[in-house]
Amino acid sequence: SIQPVGVRDIYALEFQIFKNPLWSLFYICSVFVFMYHYYVGWKKVTPVLGIPKAHIWRVELIGYAIGITMGLVYISFPLYVMATTPFAGYEASIQTPGRV
């Protein structure tokens, strides 16, 4: 027989935290601050990366696309939690009751 091992339920923790609109708003605002920091930093760092001057604008656009995508992915977590109800999973019988 295998001994059960306790693990952190990140899914349940995400729902517990982001169901609070204030935490969600704080998190989303923090992501926007990070995105701004990324934008300003990327604009400053691209000229010193050794990229030919004719290609800097392309590299900047690619970097901005990556930064926007990352920001949207992070923002999607609290938006998903606020818009849905938690899914208990297909094996709810072996889970700790009341986890979400």
**Which DSSP category does 4 fall into?**
P
Residue of 74, 89, 83 whose CA lies nearest to 15: 83
Q: In which residue are the tokens 């297909």 written?
A: 90
For residue 67, the model assigns a pLDDT of: 96
- The pTM for the full model equals 0.79
Lookup: tokens for 75: 């923002």
Lookup: tokens for 55: 């290609």
Per-position pLDDT tens, the chain of length 100: 788 777 778 888 899 999 999 999 999 999 999 999 999 999 999 989 899 999 999 999 999 999 999 999 999 999 999 999 887 777 767 766 666 6
For residue 2, the model assigns a pLDDT of: 81
Report how far residue 100's alpha carbon sits from residue 90's, in angstroms, rounded to the nearest whole number: 14
For residue 97, the model assigns a pLDDT of: 66
Runs of H (alpha helix) within 1-100: 10-18, 21-45, 56-83
The answer to whether 39 touches 64, Cβ cutoff 8 Å, is: yes
